Structure 1
Amino acid sequence: MTDSSAAGAAVYSPLTLALYDAWVLGISNRYAWRCPTGSTLLPFFRANVRPRHLDIGVGTGYYPAKAQLSSQTQVTLLDLNPSSLEAARRRINRPTTRTIQHDVMQPLPGEPRFDSISLFYLLHCLPGPLDAKAKIFANLKHNLQPGGVLFGATILGDEAGHNAFGRKLMAVYNKKGIFGNRQDTQVGFEGHLREHFRDVTIKREGCVLLFRAAQPII
């Protein structure tokens, strides 16, 4: 376990998880980050999830649970925090759901392959610099099936033009080590994604960067 991964994961206690949807997916996304969950993030997840899916940094399991997945979709959940994994597994409520307790900064043991991999609100929880965070892309590109897609969303740093609410949350979260994103930039993320994937699409919504990457460069 790396210190950087542990700091971001430690905040997700059972109590925090009970409040997560209302605070993060409801209030914070709409008013601080200006990227509504229901109209932006959930449709983005639905558009990119594939039959064999790996969800990393699972939170409460909101996205797989709400995405109206087909009965044929095989979901695997990966997180460092066992409380998050158990909460997400229960919420998704699919008997075939698998869980992996693992540090995302390390390669996956056994190199399993997936049709899609999602990283929603994980990267901004890891301390920078971006060169260190990009190790995730270098590792995960080996876990995609041919034709597979890596996609996700992350809150950008100071240059994103946060409103007063967002600036306050950024200051508190970064001071506590919950976030590590003060220097995270759209240009930086795009550059690292293009280093590892031939097909990269990015979109900005408020202070959140949505990204999709395919055709890994091996």
Structure 2
Amino acid sequence: MKQSLLFRATASNYAPSLPSLYDAWDLGIANSLIWRCPTKFLRQHFRTHVTLNHLDVGVGSGYFLDKCLLEQKRRLALIDTDNTTLEAAATRIERFKPEVYQADVLSPLNLPCKKFDSISINYLFHNLSGAIKEKAVLMDHLKEYLHDGGTIFGSTILSHGVCHSFAAQKLMAFYNQNGRFSNTRDYRNGLREELESRFTNVKIEVKGSVALFSARNGER
């Protein structure tokens, strides 16, 4: 890993200990059959907005970085609260020589790095404690590292403002009960309001239980 910076981790972000199992269950079975947003739509959304100067936040298994990025010269950085997750994701995409930062994005950041042209936050909001308004503070902290005209984008599983299947309702309730999810107060309108209060050109597309979003940091 190129760099490492230690921060106090307070966010309850889900860090998969078995990346292959996470890819198979969460991105395979659950996305298609329960959340009704097949991962191909998330891959397409990622490819549409990612740039050659990119920061990925809440890296999960590193799936999207591994599957969606072409073999070309690029700057790539990772942020997560969990060092084990960071190590696994960085190893998976070591061909890109990523910068690696262990940090809690719910707290102010002090990263020793230049700004990025794109920032992704996939499947992160629904894992963080609090209402969407409280979680959205992470966008204030990340905005400081996004160039003017740059894009922030991602996806999240919402509780309100989307159409849930019976299976989705049951699994979401179970995940919220055992602490893996914390999205009972996550509204589609709330997500839009938080994005529009900070960015321009806000777009939200809903597929099943999932909201895919993107926004621009001001105008060039």
TM-score normalised to the size of structure 1?
A: 0.90
- The one-letter amino acid of 1:142's match is E
Shift in Å, 1:13: 5.0
Aligned with residue 8 of structure 1, among 4, 13, 16: 13
Q: Is the 8 A contact 1:174 1:181 kept in 2?
A: yes
SS at match of 1:83: helix
Can you list the C-alpha shifts for 1:47-83, whole angstroms capped at 9, x where unaligned? 1001110000101100011113242221101101112
The one of 203, 207, 219 aligned to 1:205: 207
Q: Is the 8 A contact 2:16 2:61 kept in 1?
A: no
Deviation at 1:187, TM superposition (A): 0.5
1:130-154 CA-to-partner distances (Å, cap 9, x unmatched) read 2211101222111111221000000
Question: 1:126 is matched with which residue?
Answer: 128
Q: SS state of the match for residue 13, structure 2?
A: helix
**Gapped runs of 5+ residues in structure 2?**
1-7
In structure 2, the residue corresponding to 1:88 is in which secondary structure? helix
Q: How does 1:172-187 map to 2 (within 5 A)?
A: 172-187=174-189
**1:94 is aligned to 2:99:** no
* Residue in 2 that maps onto 1:65: 66
Q: C-alpha deviations, 1:97-130, integer Å up to 9, x for none?
A: 1111111112221464111000000000012212
RMSD of the alignment, in Å?
A: 1.7
1:152 maps to 154
The structure richer in helix per residue is 1
Q: How many residues align?
A: 211
| Displacement of 1:96 | 1.9
Contact 1:8 1:177 in 2 (8 A): no
Using structure 2 for the length normalisation, give the TM-score: 0.90
Gaps of 5+ in 1: none
Residue type matched to 2:157 in 1?
A: I
The answer to whether the 8 Å contact 2:9/2:81 transfers is no
